[in-house]
Amino acid sequence: MASDLNKQNDFVSWKELEEGCKIYGGGGSKNFNTGEWRVDCPVWLADKCKQCLICTPVCPDSSIPVVDGKRTDFDYDHCKGCGICAKACPFGAIVMKGAED
Amino acid sequence: MSKALEIRWHGRGGQGAKTAALLLADVTFNTGKYIQGFPEYGPERMGAPITAYNRISDEPIRVHSNIYYPDYVVVVDETLLESVDVTKGLKKDGAIVINSTRDKEELRPLLKGYEGRIYTIDARKVSIAALGKYFPNTPMLAAIVKVCGIMPEDKFLAEMEASFKHKFASKPEVVAGNMKALTMALEEVR
Amino acid sequence: MSIRERLSGNEAVSIAIRQINPDVFPAFPITPSTEIPQYFSSYVANGLVDTIFIPVESEHSSMSAAIGAEAAGARSLTATSSCGLAFMWEELYIAASDRLPLALALVCRALSGPININCDHSDAMGARDAGWIQIFAEDNQEAYDNFVQAYRIAEHPSVRLPIMVCQDGFITSHAVQNIELLEDDKVKNFVGQYEPEHYMLKKSEPMAVGAYGTPAFYMEAKKAQLTALQNAKQVALDVAKEFAAISGREYGLFEEYKTEDADFIMVIIGSAAGTAKDAVDALREKGVKAGVLKIRLFRPFPAEEIAAAIKNAKVVACMDRTESFNGHNGPLGADVRTALFDVEKAPKVLNYVYGLGGRDVTVESLTSVFEDMQTVAETGELGETYRYLSVRE
């Protein structure tokens, strides 16, 4: 049985906490929207993109989805706005914009 | 409180006093006794004086201390008489068995006023004759079994033969020599 | 029919491990526990077990590997002593907080310094707050029996905590004594197959072990861990009952030797308890109502049960085979005294440090403790309550 992460939260009692704080069932991080932490925001300029896919593996949060061998737009639910992808892109196809922009 | 027969072994690291104590524990265990066999606990250093102990009893043994008032003392190396107080605490009606070529009355002055029985055996002679090498512990084991009378000699020899056959299963030629050492030692101790 | 044998404590524990046939045994040698992995590696080489034996480069690694193996779903264990246990320090806490029921054969030895290889309980006592179940043996028989029972306690669903099976270095580990072994299949059936509900190699259920616990979770995690440890008390009793059925040997949380009507009770752990029983018998012959309470389960500490067992004594002496440097009492002394604090008309309590670094413990030295207790009862004067036994002034 996968852990119910809606219950393993800041309000969980010691009796309901999973034994040894273990988490059962994979992929739990999908439910955790780290995108809320983002201050600066990467923007993908599709017309400049050569689909070299250098950006995808350097993303620490797996927030550049690849479909049928081609990257698509950012997963903003999980992108923390670290800007590594923008630094890595050789073609200026990713630009960082401030939160206010 | 302990009703156990208590034996203290004095030897030097590498001479097999600990092994002899464990063999004595083995052989008396096989006669249905409760036994303890243990070395003086510490780092093993070749040539350094070491002590090992046996308790043998008809009742379970609970005490876990060293032995301070032994019934018998075995001295595997004669040179220890000068550096170690081997008769310390030795009971008057007990006995000491010393590996020596010397006469027992010649040894008595070295025993710090000890007045009890002394037995000697030339374990080097026995070992060289039987095994061609100097392993004093086998003759000393036979000597103490004879002196303390813990079991009949034939029973002792039978048990030891079985034990040697088990221990030296891969080199059976050693068994005969060790048995010879035991038989000779039973004769030679005096 | 049990098997009559004569074995050292280390041999006995090695045989118990062979009979259990665990999955993974990472080890690094240290005196006086070295013989356990040494004997066991010969069982591995001779094909008597199918355990994976991993020689590692340190105790830090042996405990880490045992933790990893246990989390993966393997029944695992290791053995150590003294500085080896100290080098496992952080892993001990991880094994317990990750709720991994692995076993550790601890052969108790003094911690340095001065450097010393002989027996005292400073290693085990230093680890008493790590969250492990700690169980102690008086002799080779108890070391064997405790090990056979260990996984049943540790792996119980209401517990799932690591267990430290302790015996006294050299005094029992290297002394050959009579022992009764159980047949291999009896042990195998008693211990049973390890079938964890969750484990990392389970294909159908990925899992995370060792997640970060923020302040929002940490205290709940500790409370849950403590509850599991407390559960070990009842489980240890239940397992002991089942063990008695196959062995005829009975175990409790502690052993009471002539304590029922005793005026003077010594509370003690390990091999010296046997020596204390001989002292008690001699004192009883002289009409002194002496008794011994020997601790078997030290963590969790059976405080209420101990208080009930000793509350009617006039004087109690707690024997600590370690120096804990609080200047007032040792770990056992502190625990027993606390247990008695709420008891009406509690007995007076003396606390002795004894047997450090292999200092020999004799019937005479322990008798002197009973004499001290009598003096306290006669004069009503407690005097210094934290004392050293058999130390040269």
Element holding C7 (H helix, E strand): strand C3-7
- One domain, residues A70 and A55: yes
Burial of B160 (0-12, 13-18, 19+ CB in 10 A): buried
For tokens 């540790």, name the residue.
Answer: C154
B161-170, C144-153, C310-319: which has the minimum mean pLDDT? B161-170
Q: What band does A99 get if pLDDT is binned at 50, 70 and 90? A: low
Question: CA C25, CA A25: separation in Å to the nearest integer?
Answer: 28
A-C contacts at Cβ under 8 angstroms? 56
The Cα of C224 is separated from the nearest Cα of chain A by a number of Å equal to: 6
CB contact under 8 A, C175 and B63: no
**Omega of the bond prior to C300 within 30 degrees of 0, cis?**
yes
Report the topology of domain C3-247.
Rossmann fold (3.40.50)
CB contact under 8 A, A10 and C216: yes
Structure tokens that stand for C358 in this block: 């292999």
- One domain, residues A70 and A43: yes
Same topology between domain C3-247 and domain C254-388: yes
pLDDT of residue A1: 75
Q: How far is CA C47 from CA C27, C50, C51, C53, in A?
A: 18, 7, 9, 12
Q: Which residue has the higher pLDDT, C348 or B169?
A: C348
Q: How many residues are there in chain A?
A: 101
Chains A and B touch (3+ CB pairs under 8 A): no
- One domain, residues A52 and A81: yes
> To the nearest whole number, what is the mean pLDDT of chain C?
97
- Prediction pTM value: 0.94
Q: Per-residue pLDDT tens for C249-301?
A: 999 999 999 999 999 999 999 999 999 999 999 999 999 999 999 999 999 99
- Rg over alpha carbons for chain C, rounded to the nearest Å, is 21
Question: CA C387, CA C176: separation in Å to the nearest integer?
Answer: 32
CB contact under 8 A, B1 and C278: yes
pLDDT of residue B2: 54
CB contact under 8 A, C221 and A25: no
CATH architecture of C254-388: 3-Layer(aba) Sandwich (3.40)
Give the Cβ contact number of residue A73 at 10 Å: 11
Q: Which residues pair with B36 in a beta bridge?
A: B55, C177
Structure tokens that stand for C58 in this block: 């340190």
Looking at residue C176, its amino acid is V
Question: CA C260, CA C253: separation in Å to the nearest integer?
Answer: 16
Q: Is the pLDDT of residue A101 over 70?
A: no
Q: Is the pLDDT of residue C181 over 50?
A: yes
Domain ranges of chain C: 3-247, 254-388
Question: CA C4, CA B32: separation in Å to the nearest integer?
Answer: 10
Give the Cβ contact number of residue B116 at 10 Å: 16
Question: CA C206, CA A28: separation in Å to the nearest integer?
Answer: 10
**What's the CATH number where A83 sits?**
3.30.70.20
- One domain, residues A53 and A83: yes
Q: Are strands C264-269 and C290-295 parallel, antiparallel or unpaired?
A: parallel
Question: CA C141, CA C139: separation in Å to the nearest integer?
Answer: 5
Q: Which residues of A touch C160 (CB under 8 A)?
A: 19-20
Q: Per-residue pLDDT tens for A3-49?
A: 888 888 889 999 999 999 999 998 888 888 999 999 999 999 999 99
CB C113 within 8 A of CB C82: no
Q: Per-residue pLDDT tens for C94-138?
A: 999 999 999 999 999 999 989 999 999 999 999 999 999 999 999
pLDDT of residue B1: 43
Question: CA C136, CA C235: separation in Å to the nearest integer?
Answer: 16
- The ranges of chain B with pLDDT < 70 are 1-2
- One domain, residues A57 and A68: yes
Q: Is the pLDDT of residue A75 over 60?
A: yes
Of C97, C99, C198, the CB nearest to A24: C198
For tokens 């030629």, name the residue.
Answer: B173
Q: What share of chain A is helix, strand, coil (3-state, %, to 5)?
A: 20, 15, 65
Q: Which residues of A touch C (CB under 8 A)?
A: 2, 10, 12-15, 17, 19-28
Average pLDDT over residues C76-86: 98
Domain that holds residue A28: 1-32
- One domain, residues A71 and A51: yes
**What's the CATH number where B151 sits?**
3.40.920.10
pLDDT of residue C1: 65
Question: CA B73, CA B76: separation in Å to the nearest integer?
Answer: 10
Question: CA C115, CA C126: separation in Å to the nearest integer?
Answer: 16
Number of H helices, E strands in chain B: 7, 6
Give the Cβ contact number of residue B69 at 10 Å: 12
For residue A96, what is the DSSP state? Answer: E
Domain that holds residue B54: 5-188
Element holding C376 (H helix, E strand): helix C363-379
CB contact under 8 A, C217 and A19: no
Number of domains chain A is built from: 2
Count CA within 13 A, CB hemisphere, residue B149: 2
CB C153 within 8 A of CB C239: yes
Least Cα distance to C290 among C279, C301, C300, C298 occurs for: C279
Looking at residue A63, its amino acid is S
Q: Which residues of C touch A (CB under 8 A)?
A: 97-100, 160, 198, 205-211, 213, 216-217, 219-221, 223-225, 227-228
Q: How far is CA C166 from CA A33, C79, C119, C133, in A?
A: 48, 10, 11, 10
ipTM: 0.93
- One domain, residues A13 and A27: yes
Q: Which residues of A touch C210 (CB under 8 A)?
A: 21
E strands in C190-300: 207-208, 254-257, 264-269, 290-295, 297-299
- One domain, residues A82 and A66: yes
Of C118, C168, C274, the CB nearest to B62: C274
Q: Which residues of C touch B68 (CB under 8 A)?
A: 362
Looking at residue C280, its amino acid is V
- Rg over alpha carbons for chain A, rounded to the nearest Å, is 17
